[in-house]
Amino acid sequence: MLTTKGEQFMLHGEPFRILSGSIHYFRVVPEYWEDRLDKLKQCGFNTVETYIPWNFHEPKKGDFRFEGMADVERFIQLAAEKGLYVIVRPSPYICAEWEFGGLPAWLLKDKNMEVRCVNEDYMRHLKDYFDVLLPKLAPLQISNGGPVIAMQIENEYGAYGNDKEYLEENKQLYLEKGIDVLLFTSDGPDMIKDGSLPDVLTTLNFGSKVKEAYGMLDEFKPGSPKFCAEFWIGWFDSWGNDHHTRTADNTADVLQEMLDAGGSMNFFMFHGGTNFHFYNGANRYETYDPTITSYDYDSLLTESGEITDKYREVQKVLHGFKGQSVPADNSASPVLLEESSISMSKSVSLFDTLSTVGRYVKHKTPLSMEGLDQSYGYVLYRTIISGKGTYTIDLEPMRDRGFIYINGEYVKTYYRNDVEKEISFDFPQETNTLEIFVENMGRVNYGKHLKDRKGIVENLWINNQFMFDWEMYAIELEDFELDFSKKEDQRFPQFFEGVLHVSEPGDTFVKLEGWKKGNVFVNGFNLGRYWEIGPQKTLYLPGPLLKKGANTIQILELEGSVSKDISFVKQADLG
């Protein structure tokens, strides 16, 4: 068992330093888990850490998923086979630049829902989830012969609230389900007071200023082990901003400082991976700031699993700390697909294939995504505006980006960050059709704006009155078919389809030069979003998603493209 003795961790009664790296199984295709864990151990780490996102495992209420990329038990067992210990951070909230911080969007259908506190309905849903999740984790604890040495309670709670009863109830749910390994909380050094429990290990999250961070821990809980549960060695990127990097030597220097001070640490991230599907999160401070698809994070391994200079520098420090020479590199480089281009030869307007991609709903008022029992994707809203004239629409309730059409003609794109919220439009006929196609670009994952409902979240104020009687198409694109037979509408968004022929599958990067904004699907798997504003210019396509022979490539292009071709290249372009 992992225990503490003063400032020291003890494992099976012997002093132990936690040398851990984060790999999120839900951001890596399962076929590559073993490779990433091998590289973690070869670098000199003895432990792997992962979050467990609630929304990944219960995407709909009562629909529990623990297979494929969601097979967390297999990931933990594989780590054990590699001789690694495991630290688990099982939500309910994970942040992690993940959609809604890992909380399931269906919680927000209840307009009175309060999250991350002792709210009766919230706690009931959490208990239902833990009743399924925790029995899967309990047998994997070190007390039961497994590799799990510690588990976290909640996450960075001091940055959100002060409900200590809530933290205590999370702890009790663990204990009731047989969780008996070392428990801990994790917060920024200046937020540990509200995020900690008196009888639970307090750990820190930081990227530098080691002495200051340790000093704040000593002041709060004198004589505690110094464990940086998130040593930020890079940072995440958001659309329209620069790609973040951190030098290898600076990372290695701060690591050495922690080791010299007696500290343990978890590298966040050892390997970042990818925000596949619609799972990217967002931040909101002054403005809404969605995270990109790549979660490369300038980690020790690239998004596609390649070893970096930063990996080499950290490897030297870790092996030097253990008095060992750096081992010979026996890791395999990823198999890369030969570069090629294909033409997206088929196309159809979304408006011509609504019946195959959308679920039709009619309601007096526009419903939010959550009101439509929808978590991700898009919603098309439609209503009738009577009377000819110029009318002002208050678009403030739209989340996040909307394309506005009047009588079948595109007139404007609105983004929630736009300063002007009330916009005038010309309605040229006595009876007009107003359509608004709204994209959910990722729910906020941190801070006071966490309850970030999507779609049109309140009725629209049009020409000084509310409009009633709306039609909606919920377009989640989890499992869809396209009908290319109709060619009546030329409007964007449009779906495109092409075929990639592969003799031997390998990793590649999809380059979308000439395309503006949308998503790419490979054999039905959603690779994530692209957007011409960058910084990310390519999408990572792992080889296991391809098959020998013909592979179906589909694109939902939202705004319009000047090309019908896409390329498959050997190098990522993250800006």
Question: How far is Cα 197 from Cα 154, in angstroms, rounded to an integer?
Answer: 11
Residue 331: per-residue pLDDT: 79
> How many CA atoms within 13 Å lie on the side-chain side of 464?
1
**Residues of 383-411 as b/e, b for ≥16 C-beta within 10 angstroms?**
bebeeeeebebebebbbbbbbbbbeeeee
- Mean per-residue pLDDT for 288-309? 98
User: pLDDT tens-digit profile of 478-517?
Assistant: 999 999 999 999 999 999 999 999 999 999 999 999 999 9
Q: With cut-offs at 50, 70 and 90, classify the pLDDT of residue 434.
A: very high
Indicate which residue of 99, 156, 435, 439 is catalytic: 156
Of 504, 502, 521, 503, give the one whose Cα is nearest residue 512. Answer: 521
Residue 91: per-residue pLDDT: 85
User: pLDDT tens-digit profile of 438-448?
Assistant: 999 999 999 99
Strand partners, 284: 288
Residue 329: per-residue pLDDT: 83
76 in helix, strand or coil? Answer: helix
* 67 belongs to the catalytic site: no
Indicate which residue of 49, 58, 230, 370 is catalytic: 230
- Mean per-residue pLDDT for 273-285? 98
Whether 332 has a pLDDT exceeding 90, the answer reads: no
User: pLDDT tens-digit profile of 48-94?
Assistant: 999 999 999 999 999 999 999 999 999 999 999 999 999 999 989 99
Give DSSP secondary structure letters for 308-346: -HHHHHHHHHHHHHTT-PPPP--PPPPPBPPPEEEE--E
* 156 belongs to the catalytic site: yes
- Give every CB contact of residue 439 below 8 A, 6+ residues apart in sequence: 377, 378, 400, 401, 402, 558
> How many CA atoms within 13 Å lie on the side-chain side of 337?
28
Whether 552 has a pLDDT exceeding 80, the answer reads: yes
- Mean per-residue pLDDT for 292-302? 98
Neighbours of 39 (CB within 10 A): 24
- Give every CB contact of residue 72 below 8 A, 6+ residues apart in sequence: 25, 50, 52, 57, 66, 136, 137
Whether 469 has a pLDDT exceeding 80, the answer reads: yes
Q: What is the helix, strand, coil percentage profile of the chain, to 5? A: 25, 35, 40
Residue 510: per-residue pLDDT: 98
Q: What is the DSSP letter of 504?
A: S
Of 256, 265, 202, 201, give the one whose Cα is nearest residue 230. Answer: 265
Residue 222: per-residue pLDDT: 97
Residue 463: per-residue pLDDT: 94
Whether 211 has a pLDDT exceeding 90, the answer reads: yes
- Mean per-residue pLDDT for 133-153? 98
Residue 333: per-residue pLDDT: 81
Structural domains of the chain ordered from first start: 17-321 (3.20.20.80), 340-346+490-569 (2.60.120.260), 354-475 (2.60.120.260)
Q: How many residues does the chain have?
A: 575
The amino acid that residue 218 corresponds to is: D
- Give every CB contact of residue 443 below 8 A, 6+ residues apart in sequence: 99, 100, 105, 281, 282, 450, 452, 454
Whether 334 has a pLDDT exceeding 90, the answer reads: no
Residue 175: per-residue pLDDT: 98
Residue 330: per-residue pLDDT: 79
Neighbours of 216 (CB within 10 A): 19
Neighbours of 134 (CB within 10 A): 18
What percentage of the chain carries pLDDT values higher than 70?
Answer: 100
Residue 478: per-residue pLDDT: 94
What percentage of the chain carries pLDDT values higher than 90?
Answer: 98
The pTM score is 0.98
Question: How far is Cα 273 from Cα 295, in angstroms, rounded to an integer?
Answer: 5
**Residues of 491-501 as b/e, b for ≥16 C-beta within 10 angstroms?**
bbbbbbbbebe
Give DSSP secondary structure letters for 522-559: ETTEEEEEEETT-S--EEEE-GGG--SEEEEEEEEESS
Question: How far is Cα 440 from Cα 463, in angstroms, rounded to an integer?
Answer: 26
User: pLDDT tens-digit profile of 29-39?
Assistant: 999 999 999 99
Terminal Cα-to-Cα distance of the chain (whole angstroms): 45
pLDDT, the chain, mean: 97
Whether 170 has a pLDDT exceeding 80, the answer reads: yes
User: pLDDT tens-digit profile of 353-368?
Assistant: 999 999 999 999 999 9
- Mean per-residue pLDDT for 450-463? 98
Structure tokens at 241: 């901003």
414 in helix, strand or coil? Answer: strand
- Mean per-residue pLDDT for 452-464? 97
Question: How far is Cα 103 from Cα 94, in angstroms, rounded to an integer?
Answer: 8
- Mean per-residue pLDDT for 438-466? 98
